[in-house]
Amino acid sequence: MVRNVDYKCWLNFAQMGGHPAAKRYRDQLDSICVLGDGPISRTVKEELGRGLSELTGKDSFAVHAEPQAETSVIAAVDYLENGGLLDEGYIVRAAKAGDKVQVVISSPSERGLLYGTFAFLRQLQAGRGLEKIDILENPKNELRMLNHWDNFDGSIERGYAGRSIFYNRNELVDDLGRIQDYARLLASLGINSIAINNVNVHYLETTFIEERLDLVKTLADIFRPYGIKLFLSINYASPMQLAGLETADPLDPDVQQWWIDQTAKVYEQIPDLGGFLVKADSENRPGPFTYGRNHADGANMLGRALKPFGGILIWRCFVYDCQQDWRDYETDRARAAYDHFYPLDGEFDDNVILQIKNGPMDFQVREPVSPLFGKLERTNQILELQITQEYTGQQRHLCYLVPQWKEILEFDTFAKGPGSTVDKILAGAIFEQSHSGITAVVNVGRDGNWTGHTLAQANLYGYGRLAWDPSLSAEQITDEWVVATFGHNEKVKHTVSKMLLRSWEIYENYTTPLGIGWMCNPGHHYGPSVDGYEYSKWGTYHRADHQAL
């Protein structure tokens, strides 16, 4: 496989080679000690050793079995007083040890140690003085997730960076090492969950929960040491497709029992599976509407099958009539998700989460924030963003989405007075929710640089950083990414940052200005086309003409 120079993305530690700080680190750091022998601790040990060697140019670091006074970096669960830390939070703190500096990474969990390790390496990439490191961080969002729209045949719906890194011709790819490299990239950002198949579940992917559980297990085994749980997109009509039942009615006892039994089989193989993700009654996918049931009936039935295993059911709110007539001025597609889900507020079980696209329509270049945020007061909810650049230049154009996401996250819903911003709702700080977080459709594929062009890597990086901490500024994230990817050249930093930060607005201006939306070519969505969707059945009319917008 071709591995481009930018294959390592932001974990390009060797870039630090010529930097004066790298020389200081070389003198200051010579040994590590990682306590714990769980799978994630082993990853911590590997990543610390590897990161430090690449950063300092030293071949290897002494590994101490127990912490000693002269150990340079110690990583251990509960090594420091962990007051104020959530399970996945961490402390990274330096202390003087003679003429050397000792850095301690401590967390209540192994996963937190992994995040602390990458946070430490990020500090070194930025060239910070070791002795100044003193960080205490908790993730703001519980669920920090990615959705793959990968199909089992190896194609990717709306993928612009080559074929799937997971599947090829209805099997797993041969290069499992690359999947591990991907897990590293995600763990370095604090991503803790991924859905491994397209929300449009075709027959072949329907079998993932039955005869292809071996494949899911292999993937789970690769991601587990990086602290990442798997979710499966499931087909609502599975009981009919796989077991020949005559219905998929959520209130039918046979259907309920089938899901209970099948879910138990899945958890027997993958006991730490995150759960299921469902696109139902949307764009011709099956769902409870066929049986006159609502989405709470549908989602709760699946949630109850997952409950005994601690699993979560994520249900998408992208539900609308995709058979509209353009002459129909009554049906307002932008209201659809709100009209379907707001009346059900409070009716979903506590292990069910609604997944809501950022805007009321569909990942346009610019959209208002979905009115469901701020209105659903008694329902677990997560935000769905799109990193893959379906409507934003398909990874051939530069369109850095972090400024767009910041605008969404900072939007004030006023749901509980001023300051009820979307990021706080997602973090579970405004309404009482048992689960919260953020997800996004990912932009990677088998291209040597993962994302089609190098600058599109910044969107994945930026998403991961915002999922961990939505209060980071676009500028800070951008600076971090440029330095981690290209090194410390000031001119490069200035030029690339500026290109990135202005690109969304520029893209909007030359494709869909004035917030109109939907001025793209139907089907593939590579625009612009002013009346592309104006007379189609998809309900996506901008209704702009010579008289009015």
- For ligand GCU, the binding residues (CB under 6 A) are 157-158, 199-200, 279, 283, 318, 362, 390
- Tell me how crowded residue 409 is: count the other CB atoms within 10 A of its CB: 23
Find all residues with CB under 8 Å of 208, minimum gap 6, and list them: 152, 197, 215, 216, 232
CB closer to ligand GCU out of 320 and 481: 320
Q: How far is the CB of 538 from ligand GCU (least distance, A)?
A: 8
User: Is the previous residue joined to 528 through a cis bond, with omega within 30 degrees of 0?
Assistant: yes
Contact 34, 75 (CB under 8 A): yes
CB closer to ligand GCU out of 281 and 390: 390
Q: How many residues does the chain have?
A: 549
283 is catalytic: yes
Strands 171-172 and 193-195: unpaired
390 is catalytic: yes
Q: How far is the CB of 396 from ligand GCU (least distance, A)?
A: 17
| List 134, 171, 261, 283, catalytic entry | 283
| List 47, 137, 390, 423, catalytic entry | 390
| List 362, 367, 447, 480, catalytic entry | 362
Q: What span, in angstroms and rounded, lies between the C-alpha atoms of 283 and 270?
A: 30
Q: How far is the CB of 363 from ligand GCU (least distance, A)?
A: 7
CB closer to ligand GCU out of 249 and 390: 390
Q: How far is the CB of 495 from ligand GCU (least distance, A)?
A: 33
- Tell me how crowded residue 312 is: count the other CB atoms within 10 A of its CB: 24
Question: What share of residues in the chain are helix, strand, coil (percent, to 5)?
Answer: 40, 15, 45
Buried/exposed 165-178: b ≥16 CB within 10 Å, e otherwise: bbbbeeebbeeeeb
Q: How far is the CB of 322 from ligand GCU (least distance, A)?
A: 9
Q: What span, in angstroms and rounded, lies between the C-alpha atoms of 127 and 305?
A: 50
CB closer to ligand GCU out of 121 and 199: 199
CB closer to ligand GCU out of 45 and 340: 340
Q: What span, in angstroms and rounded, lies between the C-alpha atoms of 422 and 428?
A: 10
Q: What span, in angstroms and rounded, lies between the C-alpha atoms of 363 and 61?
A: 47
CB closer to ligand GCU out of 199 and 215: 199
Q: What amino acid occupies position 126?
A: A
Q: What span, in angstroms and rounded, lies between the C-alpha atoms of 492 and 414?
A: 40
Contact 34, 73 (CB under 8 A): no
Q: What span, in angstroms and rounded, lies between the C-alpha atoms of 84 and 90?
A: 10
- The beta-strand segments (E) located in 64-109 are 73-77, 90-97, 100-107
Q: How far is the CB of 157 from ligand GCU (least distance, A)?
A: 5
CB closer to ligand GCU out of 15 and 389: 389
- CA distances in angstroms from 397 to 268, 474, 512, listed in the order given: 45, 19, 14
Q: How far is the CB of 386 from ligand GCU (least distance, A)?
A: 8
The residues annotated as belonging to the active site are 283, 362, 390
